[in-house]
Structure 1
Amino acid sequence: MREVQNQPVLSRIIALCCLSGILAVLSVCIGSACALFLWLLELATSCRIDHPTLLFGLPVAGVAVGLCYFWFGRDVEAGANLIVDEIHKPGAGVQLRMAPLVLLATVVSHLFGASVGREGTAIQVGGSLASATARLFRLRGPETCVLLTCGIAAGFGAVFGTPIAGAVFALEVLTLGQVDYRFLVPTALSSIIADWSCRAWGIHHASYPLVFQGTLNSDGSVSHVDLGLVVRIAVAAVAFGLMSRIFAESVHRLAAVMKKICPTAWLRPAIGGILTILLVALVGSRDYLGLGVLPPEPGGASIVSFFGPDIYPWSWFWKLVFTVTVLATGFKGGEVTPLFFLGAATGNVLAPLLHVPVDLLAAVGFVAVFAGAANTPVACMLMGVELFGGADIVYFATGCFVAYVCSGHTGIYLSQRIGTPKSRFRDAICGMTLREARVPQTGKGH
């Protein structure tokens, strides 16, 4: 009798061990794929800077990628939103071809100068490999959802070198205002292993020069919570939240306009490529092409530059225009690194006005604009700690939480479900996706 009672427990333990082993191997694969991606991205960026004329090939490159998706990837074109949808409502699964398609498309976009990011690629690589693994082992729906969530965590954690933020991001991004902690341990395991695997290949992530580590008191001690500074950062965070909303809504609305102007999907990137060339001629600078982590020339605008003493008044505007243009016309990559740029640039401009250290407000803006656009405030706060250190966590939390509230019910991931609305006056949208919640606001969704 005792053996019969213990059998289900033993079966669960064996199943858990098997799933853990699958997750570990999957995470190593995702981390290695992200390492390959980051290496290719660095080569593409260096090549573009060394050969400026590549920019003139951007329209043709965009059409070529568009044709690849038209011929081979129409069922995976939704990208990260498709993975989120699959977790909420399991169906046919995410096809494995999503990974090579988005990796190739993103590298090509960066090679020719499109202002896109990289997180979208990492998430899609993680999700497609997770879905393929689930099909290989014939896992059931619940186990497949676990793997897909872990794939998001692993891809995000590896590509940015922030494994804890990656684990929490994968949980937060699924449902606005609610987190299901049942998947916390597997997502953390996957994200940490993937990050370790990526670094094991010799990949180094960018470091950002945040010098501010607290306020010096009159007695020589250091205070990590200055209430006056907290208030001023909260004021800046309102602007960060509005920037998140402007970015997300600009991409969604312009994409709808572009679909009317050019109904042929694979031709739309040509419009974005031509507009990017014209924008470079108008601005007279290539600072807003690609990721923008480092300046292509000394003294140029970049994320790292915004932590220094120089102020770049209009960099946030031009990066917004460059990025919205290419994303709305169908270029692949992601939104997060451009959001880092927008946040750091906005912080750089607001710092002297609010009498906040420039490097501190650039760091807070870096994570806060992303927090508002992705509706993942806790993950972004943790990202601030992993990237910049824990001494300024109160300021990161203030920026991320206020920006999250001020960004409204919009975001870069329209498949995100609304679990708890940000306002009690919006209870009617509870349970909707962000895509559905936008319909009464805009009269149309996409």
Structure 2
Amino acid sequence: MNKFKKFMALGLAAMMVTSLVACGGSTGNAKNKKSDSSKGTTVTFWNSFTGADGDMLVKMVDKFNKENTDGIKVKMDISSDFDSQLSTAFAAGEGPTMILSSSAYRFTYGDYLQDVSDVFDKTDLNKDDFIQSYLDYCSDGDKTYFVPFQVVGYYMYWNKDLFKKAGLDPETPPTSWDEWQQDAAKISDSTKNIYGSGISYDYAYQIAHIMQRFGGLAVTDDNGTWKANFENNAGYENFLNMYKDMVDDGDNPLEADTDSMMSAGQVGITVGGPWVTAGLDTAGVDYGIGLIPQGDAGDMNSVEVIGFGITTAASDAEKEAAYKFIKWWNTQDKDGSSPALEWSLQNGFPAYTYSVQNNKEYKANKKLSAMSAANPEAPTDFIVDSNFPGINSVLSDVIPEMINSVAFGNSSVEDALAKAQKSTQKIVDKYNK
């Protein structure tokens, strides 16, 4: 699945062991806080998981339908046209019981989503087991729109063979951006079309995850007023100068698809989502995976959170039945397994609960352990304040123009940032009225 389809949840492409007592995990043994109104209820469940992950989701839903003792039936509809399907249904005063989407959907469809913060009162799910920063990402004020299902972050990947050939320790990736640039210079070999660094001018999400390490968020909350943060941002200026220097020095290709180059063994270090591992594994690349180096902007854990949402079309009984499915998804059996754990292990996405993170099988998975934030409670905002509704415009309009103008020499770094400031200010002004 390509990078934009994986981030369909943002609305730009299809619109992504300790004891249970100690870690606060849920078990199937606790007494459930429930009524009987959901018995025999059908839950309509819409999402856009059309790939291999969708096949697994189908199996998991079928398993719930067979296992639950309340006669609840989850009827799932997976569509590549999910966003249009949803907007059409809402416009007609209809819709599914439950959706699975990016938490950013609260900006577009907030009026059609119910507050799900009471899921912890109406089930025996333990709120303290959920990493708070991810719950915060799914909320606005005191209203929670989604219950976390999947955390989508970006990570650093490095080619161990290229590190060895460059005389670098293959088990010691760069921990700072100065080290990144220095290692890239050592790895690059123009005679073999090998580049030490793989930052793409055509990959807005990758650029955003990196540049915010340098200069923080592109849109911030200034005492209730949205504020653009491009112009005179020393961190952004440093990032763009570093990128331009590596391109000019031949250490970073002026190419769009750096993921494919990484899989082909032509790139030493890059940044991408969990799906990058599929291409690397298929190509037989010996690689490492770790967290993106932090920068001057401080500790952060920029992610996108995909979650379960309950629509206003759902009756009380349907909402209760959907809650039972969400509870089942996050409930561990006597062996410590759960659908949430199985999903992380098979699809390669890090956990959003402490109980899954502390599971022995999860901790034994080197990829997942490497993807799990050292400080999961660090700010999770991705490129803009997590409550700013205009994130899509910043990602689709502002950042691509900025990086392209620098990459192809159409403007200086200062001019590119000044133009990005003006473009972002226009977006910000729409939401400051």
TM-score (norm 1): 0.25
TM-score (norm 2): 0.26
- Going by fraction, where is helix more abundant, 1 or 2? 1
Q: Relative contact order (C-alpha < 8 Å, sep 6+): which is higher? A: 2
